[in-house]
Amino acid sequence: MKLLEERIRRDGKIREGGRVLKVDSFLNHQMDIGLYNEMGKEFFRLFGADGVTKLLTIEASGIGIACVAGQYFNVPVIFAKKSKTTNIDGSVYTAQVESFTHGTSYDIMVERAFLQPGDRVLLIDDFLANGAALRGLAAIVKEAGATLVGAGICIEKAFQPGGDTLRKEGVRVESLARIKAMGEAGIEFC
């Protein structure tokens, strides 16, 4: 998506020798809602014919784009909550997410009432790198017996393995901007 690539080139900041891309002036701290709308439309262009009944994202930075996209799909949006406590009453689906960046793991949870076997679920998130969060969301969709339609991602770090590994496993992953490489020389998109 040209608009997003141009914005990343203009306002993205590369940090830590090309390992970190800061896009917090428009994507995940301050949010450009005009851009969000264009991304939401694009997700609908890509997945609008797939009978999606729910959008599923993860707190916190996926929520905004999922809600704006939800307007085009006209379906409810669910965000998985990061949980410190293990579920004890069985009323939630849970999955463990390993954070490669921080070397830790955390649990995510979704109330069982909100995902049913008949649901066709599209995952939405702002970033895809190692794919740990997406993998956790996909596990919850599976646990619910629902159908995973695919994943709509704003920015994929294609030089990290998450996206391609998921694609090889048969998940349809559509990323609006795919970064092939980044460093002092700038950003190269796929």
Shortest Å, Cβ 159 to a copy of itself: 26
Shortest Å, Cβ 31 to a copy of itself: 5
Does residue 187 interact with a copy of itself by CB under 8 A? no
Does residue 76 interact with a copy of itself by CB under 8 A? yes
> Contacting a copy of itself (CB under 8 A), which of 74, 85, 86, 104?
74
CA dihedral 39, 45, 46, 50 (to 10 degrees): 130
Q: How far is it, in rounded angstroms, from Cα 178 to Cα 132?
A: 17
What are the tokens at 140? 């919850």
Does residue 113 interact with a copy of itself by CB under 8 A? yes
Query: Residue 137: how many CB atoms within 10 A of its CB?
Result: 27
The gap from C-alpha 170 to its chain's centroid, in whole angstroms, comes to 17
Q: How far is it, in rounded angstroms, from Cα 21 to Cα 183?
A: 10
> Contacting a copy of itself (CB under 8 A), which of 59, 164, 169, 188?
59
Binding site for a copy of itself (CB under 8 A): 24-26, 29-34, 36-37, 59-60, 63-68, 70-71, 74-79, 81, 110-111, 113-114
